[in-house]
Chain A
Amino acid sequence: MTVVKAVTCPVCGCLCDDIELTVRNGRIIKVKNGCAMCEAKFLSHASDHRPTKSMIRREGKLVEVSLEEAVRKAAEILVDASYPVLYGWSSTSCEATKVGIELCEEIGGVIDNTAVVCHGPSILAVQQVGIPSCTLGQVRHRADLIIYWGCDPWSAHPRHIERYTAFSEGRFEKSAWRTYINKVKALVGSKKIESAIRRLAIKSWEPAVARVEKSPSQYLSREGRKLIVVDVRRTKTAEMADYFIQVEPGKDYELFKAMRALIRDQEIEVDRVAGVPVEYLEDVVDVMVSCDFGAIFFGLGLTMGSAKLKNIEEAIRLTRDLNMRTKFIIMPMRGHFNVAGANIVSTWETGYPFAVDFSLGYPRYNPGETSVVDILLRKESDAALVIASDPVSNFPHKASEHLVQKPLIVIDAHMNVTASMADVFIPAAMVGIEAEGTAYRMDHVPIPLKKVVDPPEGVFSDEEILRLILSEVRKIKKERMEAG
């Protein structure tokens, strides 16, 4: 039995690297420090359901073949295609992405990563206005105001608050954990009293009416770290916030505009913006302006709202305005553990973070045209390679339909929905558990991924599989050239 320390968790963009794993007989049996998602993933490597054999579709059925045969078939599909798309990348290592880009350049296809359906709008907004940001440690040490907007870290990035923001212990700012506990105790107490009163007066019971927000001043005026949550619903994160702003769905843009106006001391002539009383907003803006270091974290609630990149642009502009008065940063809550890395590698090799088209022999970028979903909807692609991703279960139906109609190669550790519809399936080692590599945290800090256990026999890493395909592609091209 061995204990491996400082393992990086390959689940979400937090990329916690303090995980301790206990390994016995080549199996991970215990996970320490991780969240529930982390534990589930680390323990899943030895699942009985994992495919370990390559497969090719013959007469409508996936049948097991040798790796060589699958690689050959995949290479043939890619060489024969005139406009193939290579999609996924966010849950694999940067090293694999690099090989993917080389492969894509070789076959003149399009390479796109999952950012296109999550934080793609954030990237487009950054390309319009820039982004004042920092690494997460900077927030831990300095931030006395934390705002989560359109995201629910308690559920999606479970250790974000504890490791990097409100409940972390920094040099200049202390953890707000104790305050939260006190608050919860008080809340539980008051709820008990309320229900006791209700039970006493049971006869005059009436259905609950929508709760009107208390004025924010009560909690926001205290010393120390403060947490504000803006969301359309009262999430778990909102429960622990010092103040929760419930914005009407689709009205975030208005809220940003109103806040920007208030920061500039402009009058707002309505009583409510996006469902929030202006006087409450004034209090919140006061807190924002008077903090020493504020941080906004935003999620898909903003990027996938109807205003998409305009939401993010406005959020960034708000942050820029706040920097006139104090220090403020803003950061997207990246989902997959290496989606930031996929963007970063793609950028340094091609100049562009996603949706890169090599069909003209050089990198071209025009999201909306060269982005995968749009290509699929226009039915332009004639083959696809999907790696470490499951687009069929989350792309628009029409896009998925075209994706599976054309020859489809899937490289994945699991038999997901997309894999089950593949023409060629190659099982892969789980990056960060059975294969090493590098990943980038949501704040662009590179962290190494460890190989803790061996992959099942005959299963290779994404990087190795892609290299095999690339060299097979080159071989086929050479053969065909020689054959004239």
Chain B
Amino acid sequence: MELLIKNGYVFDPLNGINGEKMDIAVKSGKIVEKVSKKAKVIDASGMTVMPGGVDIHSHIAGGKVNSGRMLRPEDHFRDVEKKTAVTRSGVGYSIPSTFTTGYRYARMGWTTVMDPAMPPLEAKHTHEELSDIPIIDKASYPLLGDWWFVLEYLRDGRIEECARHVAWMLKATKGYAIKIVNPGGLEAWGFGRNVHSINDPIPNFCITPREIIRGLCKVNKLLHLPHTIHLHTNNLGMPGNYLTTLETMRCVEDMYDGGKPVMHITHCQFSAFKGEDWRTFDTGAEEIAEYMNAHSHVTLDMGQVIFTDTTTMTADGPFQYTLYTLTGNKWVNHDVETETSSGIVPFQYRPKSAVHATQWSIGLELALLIKDPWKIFLTTDHPNAGPFIGYPQVIAWLMSCKAREETLKKLHPKARKKSLLPTINREFSLYDIAVVTRAGQALALGLTFKGHLGVGADADIAIYNINPEKLDPSRDYEAVIKAFGCAAYTIKGGDIVVENGEVLKHVPGATLWVNVETCKPCEMEVDEGLKRRFREYWTVEYENYPVDEHYLAISRKINVKADV
């Protein structure tokens, strides 16, 4: 099918296009130079045209997400979606059901979403859900930071074997990037303990978080993976942790060669806390931003807090336990043998809580104080700091001082006093927004065919009812929220899937995964001794462990060649 999007104001940062009025041509699911006269025409005059949104970190599928769904019927009762002639029914709110997840992202103009935490043993579950999520393309990062094989290889200094093993794991789990969560802490959590700095020894393994981070950073380079290591820092959610975060960023400085960044620190808001305890809780955004402005080897995403009732879920078991002891709320813990852990606690962010309000402020401070929008991306760590349907609201906060002031007024006075926001005048332009919601994320993920509208790119396009010549987002931020919440059109792979916020088609999306070709075969595949060890480590058979490709509704393999 051919498509011509005419006369829109195009924001395509990866190609340096900033609000120019131009036409975009689409053929067979790709952006092309031009199309024939038979092409269907979308009149986008007076509208903003952007590449489809890309989300680098959003918990949308898998065992943990589903346990959250099961845990909270009350989350669904108030937010339901009826079946229509083309769409399936479902429920929200903070943990929407699979179909609803796809529709809601598509309605906002988002077309690519990364699920950031897949326990390898339960990878099939993640993929079954991902395949069920319609419209959007997606991928998932296997949790590898506390995997026994990694710990043992890195302890023994066998970096190349480690790299081949990680390559095997990416293939076995159909994963996209190396995810590290509270390195060492999760293994320690197996016996109810934790680590408290990147230099703490990990019980039973004679290795430190620093060595894990550096080791996997090296592995990532050896394998030439498209994304960097994706890191959830130690001490996340603890007052004073901005120091750990700075130390973590410093620990890989020497691995940066001036080219691509080497590390992504995710939901940085939760890792930028200052203060001795919850009473003296304060923002550490300034220090982090200062470091980020002076260095280029790290990218971040926000993890922006939205004031609402949500469900926190991370692989960071000890942190979730702390959250449970703080709130007394219902608590799910799910440790996964040999690999990782996870936890879930429902949580309500209230503007009248000094801590929550300061957290809200920290996210925005980070985004606004870090000068280069290519270094920090918009996320809410869905659903941890708020559900993804809050993105339009976050965009408004970024684009408008007035929007921020309105919210600031409602905050706990202590948090208002501590907030750096009143001193910040910066307002994001639509171009900046296109960077932090699409282009920057696609670049960081190494998704060369996403996040831009150049010829050859996937025809994933969002058209919003925003006339950049008429609308002043700074003043009229409500209109911005409305426009981003309900795309005029969403085009996925050349298909018009959403019009005026209404889903027109239930099409499957692809699952992206990285197939690393190593020079030597992974020891796991050839060494019988290792296969025996496999049986000792896990309670499933070697043959039943990998995710067969048929679990992926549409499998999109990205081939890379490794050095090892």
Contacts and interface: CB of A to CB of B under 8 A. Distances in A.
A353 interface: yes
* Interface residue SS majority, chain A: mixed
Interface string B59-94: 001010011011111011000111100001111000
Nearest to A325: B192
A140 interface: yes
7 contacts: A127-B71, A137-B336, A323-B192, A347-B66, A444-B122, A444-B125, A445-B122
Contacts of B335: 133-135, 138, 329
Contacts of A350: 89-91, 97
B204 A348 contact: no
Contacts of A8: 544
Interface in B35-81: 61, 63, 66-67, 69-73, 75-76, 80-81
Interface residues of A, number: 62
Contacts of B538: 137
Contacts of A172: 204
Interface stretch (B138-146, B219-227, B251-259, B325-333): B325-333
B125 A140 contact: no
A244 interface: no
Interface string B524-542: 0000000000001111111
A362 B83 contact: yes
B86 to A, nearest CB: 13
Using C-beta atoms within 8 Å of the partner chain, give the interface range for chain B: 35 or more
Given A132-B331, A142-B191, A351 B73 contact: yes
Contacts of A363: 76, 80, 89-91, 97
Contacts of A344: 66, 70, 125
A6 B544 CA distance: 7
A438 interface: yes
A112 interface: no
A129 B346 CA distance: 11
A179 to B, nearest CB: 21
Interface string A341-375: 00111011111110000101111110000000000
Interface in B77-128: 80-83, 88-91, 95-99, 121-122, 124-125, 128
A133 B90 contact: no
A361 B124 contact: no
Interface of B is mostly: mixed
Contacts of A137: 121, 336-338, 537-539
A349 B63 CA distance: 13
Nearest to A141: B337
Looking at A133, A134, A348, A358, which has the most chain B CB atoms within 10 Å of its CB?
A348
Contacts of A131: 332-333
B98 A348 contact: yes
Interface of B: 61, 63, 66-67, 69-73, 75-76, 80-83, 88-91, 95-99, 121-122, 124-125, 128-129, 132, 148, 190-192, 204, 321, 324, 329-338, 341, 344-345, 536-544, 548
A448 B544 CA distance: 6
Q: Which of B69, B76, B538, B544 has the most CB of A within 10 A?
A: B544
B543 A6 contact: yes
B132 A444 contact: no
A447 interface: yes
Given A5-B543, A363-B80, A447-B540, A351 B97 contact: yes
A128 B125 contact: no
Contacts of A123: 70
Contacts of A353: 70
A129 B91 CA distance: 22
B512 to A, nearest CB: 20
B89 A445 contact: no
Cβ-closest 10 pairs across A and B: A137-B337, A327-B192, A130-B330, A351-B91, A134-B335, A132-B333, A446-B124, A6-B541, A351-B76, A6-B543
B142 to A, nearest CB: 15
Interface string A309-343: 00000000000100100110100000000000001
Interface in A433-465: 438, 440, 444-448
Contact of B71 (A130, A138, A163, A358): A130
B127 to A, nearest CB: 9
Contact of A446 (B80, B122, B338): B122
A17 B546 CA distance: 14
Nearest to A129: B330
A169 B537 CA distance: 10
Nearest to B333: A132
Contacts of B544: 6, 8, 17, 447-448
Nearest to B62: A348
A105 B541 CA distance: 36
Nearest to A446: B124
A172 B95 CA distance: 36
A358 B89 contact: yes
A5 B97 CA distance: 36
Contacts of B82: 360-362
B430 to A, nearest CB: 35
Given A320-B331, A348-B69, A348-B97, A130 B344 contact: yes
Contacts of B67: 444
A5 B542 CA distance: 11
B90 A445 contact: no
A438 B122 contact: no
A171 interface: yes
Contacts of A17: 540-541, 544
A133 B338 CA distance: 15
A127 B539 contact: no
Contacts of A365: 73, 76
A365 B548 CA distance: 33
A424 interface: no
Nearest to B69: A347
A126 B129 CA distance: 22
Contacts of B76: 351-352, 363, 365
